[in-house]
Structure 1
């Protein structure tokens, strides 16, 4: 938060102007008073002489005194009017000062405090609460998926949602509590409470979550949102914290609420800051790794269950981090999607994989997973075809896997993309089938070439009737639609025996070996006589060994 006092410069400017005007008030009023004294001192003789002259006795009034008398009257009238004008000017300036202060300290949309004024107000409440033997709770509230409301319904709808949310939040605050709008869709509640009664803050957080989640009417629309809340207190860890500290801690706790599913609240813990710092280091490392080629393809075998033959590989991403070692995609893929580098990362991996797969036997296929983020790119199909052309890799040997959940983001774009890829000879598989919400109509309307059963149903097959029923049903569905099926997660012989009961599949899993890097994959293929260019594979292996030796020496 800014340490500058709200409207400080404006206030100084206005105060100076008022001081100058006040000095002019004194001068003007003094002039009027002096004119009135002079009028009284000279007026009686001038008036008496004038009356006597009109009655026919006495002399006419002295011209100089008469002129002075008239001038005094004019000066009094003019001075009094000027004095009233100056008083009015001071009043207007004070009103302007108050308006400037309000504008500097409040959010124009919601009418609550703004980020600039939240800091001083929080520090003041902390001091006042401390004097009473109380502490202050700081709640950071962020509207979940607010951007979607703006994108779908326009900024007017978004503004209406913000105003209604702030109104509901303000109504729930206890006496002495303050509400501030910290950012676009972020609010902060500053609430004094008795240190031993933290449950009152818990109830307040739950109440705020509940009331904000109620629908908001906007014209013919019904808008809905939820909030994620991060909470901390001014005596956290036994220290007395400033407004800046509370904002930082509550923001970290709010991030944890977002991470854990939204529409909930979390209290700040010191471990959260370490986790957030690690997350920041990961983001930096991922960006660097994409630029320097630290992400490499690994390959998992795919086996024809009927014959036991090796028929292809699925490419899986790994991060060879110089500081963290080899990192699995479960950790870095979600972060890469959030920070907007997943497309660049994926395309670089596919380019490497196509070069590796060119040395394999032409009967072996290569399949890759496509991020839902990439499917939002209307040029994705063209980018993929460009990679195939540059690598001179046959499209018939290439298969992309699309997760079931991604179909619902933009079904029209996905249908167009799949059709474009299939027209070029690329095969398209529906990945993680059974975990999303695909309907039979989608399976019939979208030209998929294969269904892939999610590993969550496969690893629990032995002894689990529900998983067995699901796998059996998907197998029957695939047979009825003429779609071959791939099963992932085959890790032991018991699972394999169960699968043999339901049909013929292409399978993959740890039973056939863990995913391996390119050089080790080439070694195994060479032993099976499934490598076209053994010398190239050996050279690749030697280069890999040399790199490892250099790294070890370093």
Structure 2
């Protein structure tokens, strides 16, 4: 379709150029006709002159006029012809300049694809034509998964080379009826008509693009592994504009990325509902964190030998004013995605430190640090600042770091862990056994405790392999002189098995679910772990009402 539009523009310019050429050519032709009509007079007079060259003084005035007329007519013809050639050259140059300007205004100069505005124009015409022919139009958004890494590692010139190579792959996959465009950065769009009853054609094109971009892109300057995720939307009765298709395809593309990247996904209504829900959660986070709606809940940690409470793991809960208590699975992923996890974590830790600072000195708090927080070089200073402001003792705090988060920047993690250890804060390696280089991390970082992932603990009495893993980790902790905490203790049978293995600390629903502050204080009071004479904290009354 873009080629047809370009051909139409070229034809219009050709008609304009032909009109100018006709005027100039008419002048030349008139000169030739005049010369032909009167040339015999000039020739006769010229013969007489040649015959009387020796008697030049006998040339009459009429002969001189004829010679002058002939020379003037010849000059007119030569001038007209020269002017005609100049006009043709100038017109061609102008047409070429106009064509270049049109191309630059309509296309992306790096890839040659249409820009967003031109894509919308071509797409609107394609959708209208498809509707007349009882067909549908599919819009594919192709997003390069790891292109940012190419720019960071090799520079923007190498990135431009990879973008051109990716565009060539996309171009090769498309039929002649398709229109392609570059939306922004590493994001491309493709529009193509198809039979609404057979989506396999579109699936095949998407699969080819994903497969081809999943292979290493090898250029003269760089070899890159990028991959691609594709979202697809189709024109329907409630979606028949390019902008509406772009919106739906973008939603589908993010769903493809969320499902693991390197794949394509068609838009469906559930994706939009999930997006609306996700955006509502983000808005609630932004509003609720400053208002103190995110509060600590406490899960008991038990000495498995004595059965006594020795600490609590602090878990975030959202006490929503209208929806009640919202579990973390509903908001933690969104908080991490939109960059609010650190603010929420600080808010929850501050409240927990204030509530727990006067508990029995034997009671510790365990706080889990999100992977995104380990990217902050000031994390240790922020935690120490909270301890100073709240008066909570550093030796009663245990920071839990998940094994998977250490892969991102081990050197920074070492710096953070070292700073925390210097303040007397203890460190635990959380979800042990789910990563890939646990022993290396135990050597590189001064952990005080290992926490066995609950997926192994809950299955240990039913799955021999899980039991073997739990037993091996317990033996490893014993050999390294590192205490073990087992998560996910849900019944007496698991409790008894862990005691036989020598595991000395555990937590799980067998001992109690995470509790609000009021229930936690009752539990501590029953165990004699609260001071007898104590006034309420300033916000304790509010916390008790919430509980």
> Cα deviation per residue 1:384-423 (whole Å; 9 max; x = unaligned)?
2222222232211111110000111111111122112111
> Partner residue of 1:198?
199
Structure 2 contact 239–245 (Cα < 8 Å) conserved? no
Alignment of 1:27-176 (within 5 A): 52=48, 55=52, 56=55, 57-61=58-62, 73-176=74-177
Deviation at 1:201, TM superposition (A): 2.5
Q: Report 1:11-30 matches (<5 A).
A: none
Q: CA deviation at 1:529?
A: 3.3
Q: What is the RMSD computed on CA atoms of the aligned residues? A: 3.2
Change (3 A) 1:267 1:24: closer
* Structure 1 contact 53–60 (Cα < 8 Å) conserved: no
- Cα 1:94–1:544, aligned 2, differ >3 Å: closer, same or farther? same
Aligned-pair CA distance for 1:474: 0.4
Aligned residue for 2:459, secondary structure, equals coil
- Structure 2 CA distance, aligned partners of 1:477 and 1:313? 24
Residues 4-58 of structure 1: per-residue CA shift (max 9 Å, x gap): xx99xxx9xxx99x97x98876776666666667767887767766765672344
SS in 2 for 1:174: coil
Q: Cα gap change, 1:165/1:530 in structure 2, threshold over 3 Å: closer, same or farther?
A: same
Between the aligned partners of 1:128 and 1:143, the Cα distance in structure 2 is 30
- Normalised to the residue count of structure 1, the TM-score between the two structures is 0.87
Runs of 5+ unmatched residues, structure 1: 1-5, 550-554
Moved more, 477-486 or 348-357: 348-357
Structure 2: unaligned runs, 5 residues or longer: none
In the alignment, the residues of structure 1 paired with residue 415 and residue 514 of structure 2 have an alpha-carbon distance, to the nearest angstrom, of: 32
Q: Provide closer, same or farther for how the CA distance between residues 252 and 420 of structure 1 changes in structure 2, counting only shifts above 3 A.
A: same
Give distance in 2, aligned partners of 1:176 and 1:26. 38
Give the match's secondary structure for 2:367: strand
1:510 is paired with a residue whose SS is coil
How far apart are 1:316 and its partner, in Å?
Answer: 0.8
Q: Is the 8 A contact 1:523 1:537 kept in 2?
A: no
**Cα distance change on mapping 1:173 and 1:38 into 2, 3 Å:** closer
In the alignment, the residues of structure 2 paired with residue 412 and residue 240 of structure 1 have an alpha-carbon distance, to the nearest angstrom, of 50
Helix, strand or coil at the partner of 1:369: strand
Distance in 2, matches of 1:58 and 1:218, equals: 82
Is the CA contact (8 Å cut-off) linking 1:318 and 1:329 kept in structure 2?
A: yes
Retained in 1: the 8 A contact 2:457–2:486?
A: yes
Matching of residues 225-304 of structure 1 within 5 Å: 225-235=226-236, 241-304=240-303
Over residues 71-95 of structure 1, what are the superposed CA-to-partner deviations in whole Å (9 max), with x where a residue is unaligned? 6655554444333222222212211
Report the equivalent of 1:390: 389
User: Given the superposition, is the C-alpha separation of residues 358 and 239 from structure 1 closer, same or farther in structure 2, using an over 3 Å criterion?
Assistant: closer
The alignment covers a number of residue pairs equal to 535
2:432 — aligned with what? 433
SS at match of 2:331: helix
TM-score normalised by length of structure 2: 0.88
Give the Cα–Cα distance (whole angstroms) in 2 for the partners of residues 198 and 302 of structure 1. Answer: 55
Range with greater deviation from structure 2 (472-481 or 219-228): 219-228
Q: Contact between 1:53 and 1:59, CA under 8 Å: does it hold in 2?
A: no
Question: For residue 180 of structure 1, what is the aligned residue in structure 2?
Answer: 181
Offset from partner CA, 1:293-331 (integer Å, 9 cap, x none): 322122211111111221111111112233433222222
Offset at residue 480 of structure 1 (A):
0.5
Task: Compute the displacement of 1:432 (Å).
Answer: 0.5
**Residue of structure 1 equivalent to 2:506:** 507
User: Partners of 1:42 and 1:221 in 2: how far apart?
Assistant: 75
Distance between the aligned counterparts of 2:159 and 2:538, measured in 1?
59
Contact 1:140 1:250 in 2 (8 A): yes
Shift of 1:500: 1.4
Structure 1 pair 539–414 and aligned structure 2 pair: CA distance change class (3 A): closer
Structure 1 residues 496 and 90, CA gap change in structure 2 (3 angstroms): same
